[in-house]
Amino acid sequence: MHTPTAKRVRSVRPVGTRAVLAELDGLQDVLALQDMLNKSPLPGQVDVLAAAETVMVVGESAAATRAIGARLMELELMVPEVTDSGLVIIDTVYDGDDLADVAELTGLSADGVVAAHTGQIWTVAFAGFAPGFGYMVGENEVLTVPRRSSPRTAVPAGSVALGGQYSAVYPRRSPGGWQLIGRTGARMWDLGRAQPALARPGDRVQYRAVREVVTAGASVAGEPEKEHHPESGLQILNPGAQSLIQDLGRRGYGPLGVSAAGALDRASLRRANRLVGNAPSAAAIESVNGGLTVEAVGDQVVAVTGAHVTLTIESPSWLGSDDGADQPGAIRTVPMAAPFALLDGEVLTLGAPESGFRNYVAIRGGVDVPEVLGSRSADTMSGIGPAPLAIRQVLAVGDDTASTAVGAPELQPDFPGVGVTVLDVVPGPRADWFNSEALDSLCAQEWLVTPQSNRVGMRLDGTPLKRTREGELASEGTMAGALQIPPAGLPVLFLADHPITGGYPVIGVVRDEHLDLAAQVPIGGKIRFRLVPDAPSFTTTFTKTPEK
């Protein structure tokens, strides 16, 4: 009598030094591993990002990640239990722009497409692309259709769509290449709920045809909020090119489609907070390329770190006058990476960077803005967190201090300037999509940082890299530091606000300790990648015992 061979992870590939990618034989194995890791996390496990054929596990350290990789190879996959937690019902009007095309692609009538879509139970396999965007797999493959050859630049929120073997609902207006078959008023992502995602990985979903859309769970309109001016804080007089509130980010929400976000130069944020006596992850201002101007509301203690800039303070005309009469305001400069007093009414201006690109302005007590999913960081990809700072906005000071005293002035590292910045990179999980010539070209040339770069990723220009494999890569988990190579061959270096899944091969991963340095490379700066010894390899192919 034959006993079936236990199902296992097919192989495990390093993704830099802080994550590993488990490859599996199919979506059912993906769901099984995801379920096991969510119910019984491995030591040091920070995040689990399931995708079509892989599960990426992020570790809290390089050592923990190596141990996770070894443990994944030993696991026997268990079929996840089906619970009777009920269905998520999504009322849908089937009038999508691509309904006729889907009917032609599937050989069904339009009514047949609707019947096939509503007549089966869908399971959310994984999340990605945007918070609340769940990749749902059905009970059959009748509605498997290709994505559009030309993606739309804007898909309306609530659009019900098909792509490959999956169905999904676009939670917000965004670009997209899926086939649109209908629309719903269901709020797929709502931060006002205890569980923001209406349908989470593992949930069962059924679509129900209706004649009109009714928006569910909409916030009840009340009296407009009165403009609030804190008694203590910083008023924004000029936000510069872009200024955002950032802390050390939010972890553990990858399964919901939410990236970590947080300060791009974590060391500079920690240094600024340390100087004013704050907790390491207190919220501060991250500002790009100088130009930020703030005015103290009440007496404050401030420190500025990051890009080397001139810090100028202008005192108000009345400050220091015995009779309160107007007099010319005094102007002084203060040093970088040192705490200083910014008295009520004084104005601080950050000059243009001499080197580096991003500054961190910490105020004692931290910036007091509402937390979203455990963090005060702005995520430019998903729109989660506080909006970019605006003129006349007043930031309240919080109480996120860790010391009764401020810190001593500190030395800052050298930041990138007009020269070339060298970043260490290890081979990526899909380096085998390229030959040795492409890897040599990646490290031999100087890559230009283009103006299309942002907190999602740095877009680089140079001699394109050629793949040795044709076709598409099934979407899989990504992380900050990943170097994706789109078909055009020009690398994109993912930063903190990156999408949690991606469909382009990752040729290399910048080492985590060099991401702070990457964040300081200015637009127009140049990067050279230096290949360093590979992270310990876990790649092993399991040979299945043939059935007898």
In-domain check, residue 306: yes
CATH number, position 22: 3.30.1360.40
pLDDT reported for residue 321: 54
pLDDT digits (tens, 9 = 90+) for 341-368: 999 999 999 999 999 999 999 999 999 9
Work out the average pLDDT over 65-81.
Answer: 89
Nearest to 163 by CA among 150, 142, 145: 145
In-domain check, residue 426: no
pLDDT, mean over the chain:
89
Distance separating alpha carbons of residues 501 and 428, to the nearest angstrom: 15
In-domain check, residue 524: no
Task: Looking at the structure, tell me whether residues 26 and 134 fall in a common domain.
Answer: no
In-domain check, residue 419: no
Q: Order of strands, edge to edge, in the sheet holding 159-163?
A: 88-92, 204-209, 122-127, 134-137, 166-169, 159-163, 179-183
In-domain check, residue 518: no
Task: Looking at the structure, tell me whether residues 47 and 128 fall in a common domain.
Answer: no
Paired residues of 90 in beta bridges: 207
pLDDT band at residue 455, thresholds of 50, 70 and 90? very high
pLDDT band at residue 537, thresholds of 50, 70 and 90? low
Domain end marker among 342, 376, 396: 396
Distance separating alpha carbons of residues 172 and 170, to the nearest angstrom: 6
Which of 276-280, 292-296, 471-475 is predicted with the least confidence, judged by mean pLDDT? 471-475
Work out the average pLDDT over 458-462.
Answer: 96
Which of 48-52, 138-142, 224-228, 503-507 is predicted with the least confidence, judged by mean pLDDT? 224-228
Task: Looking at the structure, tell me whether residues 199 and 245 fall in a common domain.
Answer: no
317 pLDDT higher than 80 = no
Task: Looking at the structure, tell me whether residues 36 and 172 fall in a common domain.
Answer: no
Nearest to 232 by CA among 67, 83, 342, 118: 342
544 pLDDT higher than 90 = no
pLDDT over 70 for what percent of the chain?
Answer: 90
Which residue did the predictor score with more confidence, 86 or 284? Answer: 284
Distance separating alpha carbons of residues 157 and 190, to the nearest angstrom: 13
Distance separating alpha carbons of residues 109 and 339, to the nearest angstrom: 70
Domain count along the chain: 3
pLDDT reported for residue 383: 87
Task: Looking at the structure, tell me whether residues 43 and 108 fall in a common domain.
Answer: no
pLDDT band at residue 414, thresholds of 50, 70 and 90? confident
Residue keyed to tokens 């305001």: 329
Q: Tell me how far the alpha carbon of residue 326 is from its chain's centroid.
A: 49
Task: Looking at the structure, tell me whether residues 259 and 351 fall in a common domain.
Answer: yes
Domain end marker among 335, 365, 396: 396
Could you tell me the residue range of the domain that residue 266 belongs to?
A: 233-396
Task: Looking at the structure, tell me whether residues 53 and 184 fall in a common domain.
Answer: no
Task: Looking at the structure, tell me whether residues 56 and 187 fall in a common domain.
Answer: no
pLDDT reported for residue 534: 59
Which residue did the predictor score with more confidence, 548 or 410? Answer: 410
Which segments of 210-343 are extended strands (E)?
A: 233-238, 243-246, 284-288, 293-297, 300-308, 311-314, 331-334, 340-342
Which segments of 159-222 are extended strands (E)?
A: 159-163, 166-169, 174-176, 179-183, 204-209
In-domain check, residue 62: yes
pLDDT reported for residue 417: 77
The DSSP secondary structure of 95-130, one letter per residue, reads: --TTHHHHHHHHT--HHHHHHHHHSS-EEEEEE-SS
- The DSSP letter of residue 498 is -
- CA end-to-end distance (rounded Å), the chain: 9
Which residue did the predictor score with more confidence, 97 or 193? Answer: 97
CA distances from 298 to 228, 396, 400 (A): 15, 10, 17
Residues of the chain by 3-state class (helix, strand, coil), percent to 5: 15, 30, 55
Task: Looking at the structure, tell me whether residues 241 and 205 fall in a common domain.
Answer: no
Distance separating alpha carbons of residues 66 and 139, to the nearest angstrom: 36
pLDDT band at residue 148, thresholds of 50, 70 and 90? confident
pLDDT over 90 for what percent of the chain?
Answer: 71
In-domain check, residue 510: no
Retrieve residue 241's tokens: 């090119």
